[in-house]
Amino acid sequence: MGPYNLPYKQKSSTNVYSYFFVVLFCIAWAGFFFLVIMKDDLIKGLFGGGAFISLSVWACYIIISVQVLKKFSLHLTSEYIEVVLPFKATIARWEEIASVDTYYSHGNDYVAVLLKSHKEKKSFTRNFESVFGVPSYSFQIPARFFKDVDMNRLLLTISEQINSRLANEGQHVDRITHGKDENNIIGALSTSGLMGLILSVVYGISIWQLEENFVFIPIFGSFLIISMFNTYYKEESFNLMARLYIGFLCLVQIPLGIILATTLETEMYFAIDDIFFVIKKYFKYVVKYPAEQWFSIVIGLICFGIGAIRGRVK
């Protein structure tokens, strides 16, 4: 099928049943936290119940706004594209658009549009999203809010309009193409190292204060470290030394966090001798009793794998 005829306008529509399921699921869990958990722990009950109630309110908002009131819309003319979404409305003239792409994430298709004014901008958020295969974009069109729109035809329509404006410039766009990036390897090494150190401190304090090993902190932190590295350095090809460095930073969050928590718990002064004493004792313990530390070892290897394998290679 070919592109849509312009002007083209489509009101929002979505799969209501999936959101109804979310509402019922969240209400059930909110009730569990308020009626059961709160009896033993007031803070956890309020926090957990409040979080699920907030999610159910958001799902109800989507159902009413998207399907009932049809407040959101997609409008394409020969001059511009207008996208009205929850909390955001965007209008862009075709000559302002640099590129368009599609991607798939969490069971949903998206059309991502990048404006020329945003093409050369670098941001931590953009690099973090790129780790998960999300292309750079200024705004996007989610298929879940426009179930009656064929995303392939929409992509073809937008590409055709952009190409007609770029024809005189001898350019062509079907997918996003990035311009030449200025790499700063020193900035990449230092900022990603600093991020790893900060995350290790956060992880250690969480173990000390909460007396729980929240392994999602170093795992999520591994993606933050990769994103910080990618903000300053884009690999032209797979760089073994860079991958090993990032893998090491992701891995070292585990021992550094545990060592910091141990130091704080024993109320030692942060003297060099005390720190080296704790480090020495920790690694001796791990070598002598690896079976007792198997969980931390596995999480450390997972973090190393994330850092060594994931990331962006141009």
Q: How many helices (H) and strands (E) does the chain have?
A: 10, 7
Give residue-wise pLDDT tens across range 201-220.
888 888 888 777 787 888 88
Residue 131 has phi, psi (to 5 degrees) of -60, -30
The token pair at 160 is 């055709």
Return the CATH number of the domain spanning residue range 73-169.
Answer: 2.30.29
β strands within 144-223, DSSP E: none
Q: CA–CA separation, 184 vs 68, rounded Å? A: 50
* CB-CB contact of 123 with 104 (8 Å): no
The pTM of this model reads: 0.53
The token pair at 209 is 């204060």
Peptide bond before 218: cis, by omega within 30 degrees of 0? no
Residue 204, pLDDT score: 87
Beta bridge partners of 75: 9, 82
Q: Which amino acid is at 186?
A: I
Domain ranges of the chain: 10-68, 73-169, 185-309
pLDDT < 70 positions in the chain: 1, 105-107, 118-136, 166-183, 234-238, 267-274, 311-314
Provide the Cα torsion 268, 270, 276, 282; round to 10°: 50
Give residue-wise pLDDT tens across range 146-182.
888 888 888 888 888 888 776 655 555 444 444 444 5
Residue 149, pLDDT score: 86
